[in-house]
Structure 1
């Protein structure tokens, strides 16, 4: 998957906003003010994973613990171009779902989730 495609997938998810709070080298995608993906201009991507997905993907060595996000199942891949489009799209969508599920019911309703 190409960098621009990852950006497109993130922006296509309901209620998504994008910011650059960590500087000009990375985009932070949020739902309800909570981060669900961080995409570096270098092609690195951090996303939130379920416990099962985190264990499986880190054990296989295709992802590792996300730098600066040591808790809560955050994983990092160095290069999005090595991923199958559908697989990475699904992981990003699941990250969005996991983060959105932690929002209040009111916030989810306001975002149409």
Structure 2
């Protein structure tokens, strides 16, 4: 997956925004002010930090050693760093990003979820 496709994917979710609170080199993708993805789009290899259910995080790391690892500079229980430039199918990357977005949305107040059509 290319950096442009990763950016487009992250912005394709409802209410997704891209911000740069840590400087111009780090894209932070948020939904209603809460982060669901963090990446340096010009980094090689291209990686993205994504929120993940703790049990799924362990399973994914075991299934994809070296491609999915504990989140870099994040809570290692709830975040994974995913290498997205070739080792994983684009479909799987999309599912991981969507899962991250879903987890963040699930933690939003009910009124915010309703505005996203996600009860």
TM-score (norm 2): 0.85
Q: Bigger CA drift: 54-63 or 38-47? A: 54-63
Write the mapping of 1:51-66 to structure 2, written as runs, cut at 5 A: 51-60=54-63, 61=65, 62-66=67-71
Q: Is the CA contact (8 Å cut-off) linking 2:70 and 2:77 kept in structure 1?
A: no
Q: Which runs of 5+ in 1 are unaligned?
A: none
- Separation (CA, whole Å) in 1 of partners of 2:3 and 2:89: 13
Structure possessing the higher relative contact order (Cα contacts under 8 Å, 6 or more residues apart): 1
TM-score (norm 1): 0.90
Which residue of structure 2 lines up, in the alignment, with residue 80 of structure 1? 84
Q: Which runs of 5+ in 2 are unaligned?
A: none
Which residue of structure 1 lines up, in the alignment, with residue 96 of structure 2? 91
**Which of the numbers 47, 50, 54 marks the counterpart of 1:47?**
50
Q: Bigger CA drift: 44-53 or 21-30? A: 44-53
Q: RMSD over aligned Cα, in angstroms? A: 1.4
Structure with the largest fraction of helix: 1
